[in-house]
Amino acid sequence: MKKIGFVGVGIMGKSMVRNLMKNGFEVSIYTRTKSKAEDVIGEGAIWCDTIAECAKDKDVVISIVGYPKDVEEVYFGEHGILNSAAKGTYVVDMTTTSPKLAKRIYAEAAQKGIHALDAPVTGGDTGAKAGTLAILVGGDEDDFQACMPVFEAMGNNIVYEGTAGNGQHTKMANQIIIAGTVSGMCEAMAYAKKEGLDVQKVLDAVGTGAAGSKQLSSLSPRVMQGDFGPGFFVKHFIKDMKIAAEEADEIGLDLGVLKKVLSMYEEMESQGKGDLGTQSLVQYYGW
């Protein structure tokens, strides 16, 4: 496996493309706005004018786009991946999307002799840059093993979660944890500030104990520096939480904390803050 097509070169995708190239893969890319990918094109990525061109004659086609509707367009469009990739190609959707959609891609790919995996990632922009993403994979185990060298170029915690859709279900569990953790961090920081404490000293004191977390260590410094830019967009986190809430509702599970955090982020989005990073939730508390 040497020739890779990569659809979606955003904050995460751009770093993933770089790491694939560093590991010796020939990477062809497609994204909606070519100008946003000029830097990686200059570094050796091969530009494709269409998704069909990006998927044609590749060993593996990877996608990481925004929303489920984007995934549907990328895979099922007339010139989409499943109508352009050759039999035997491995297609890997690394977007966080609906488990049902992952199962649909798997089923329709199988009919065409194409191997499909759902492989959402976690680790944010820093993990994408460092090549240390956690990659959560659903699909056939043989296909997972075949794609391992590709995954290893982008991540270091690569887990086979089971059948098609299970990668997405695992990512939903991840997002449920993050929703509670980020909101807890923001509430604690707002509380400490309101009580007149030195917030940084509080963070230093509790961050290495039971209250410590990856979210706390990676996001609280950004808050303290007044950096609310996206490592992960508010608008995309809202999308993820909605999927998780819908899946939970279908199995009769009421995720009260998740739904409360979702409502807070939706209020922020209504104020025009959807393009900020998830750490900006602290602003909800008057930071």
The number of C-alpha atoms within 13 Å of 56 and in the hemisphere containing its C-beta is 9
Alpha-carbon 215 to chain mean position:
15
Q: Are 241 and 175 in contact (CB under 8 A)?
A: yes
Closest CA to 80 of 146, 8, 154, 27: 8
The greatest distance separating any two alpha carbons of the chain, rounded to the nearest whole angstrom, comes to 64
Q: What are the percentages of helix, strand and coil residues in the chain, rounded to 5?
A: 55, 15, 30
Q: Are 238 and 275 in contact (CB under 8 A)?
A: no
**214 catalytic per annotation:** no
For 31, 42, 47, 276, the CA distances from 35, given in Å and listed in that order, are 9, 11, 11, 22
Burial grade of 146 (CB within 10 A; 0-12, 13-18, 19 or more): middle
* Catalytically annotated residue among 14, 58, 103, 171: 171
Give the C-alpha separation, 202 to 191, whole Å.
11
Query: Which residues of the chain form beta strands (DSSP E)?
Result: 3-7, 26-30, 46-47, 60-63, 90-93, 115-118, 121-122, 133-138, 155-162
Give the C-alpha separation, 174 to 46, whole Å.
33
CA distance between the termini of the chain: 49
Catalytic residue ranges: 171
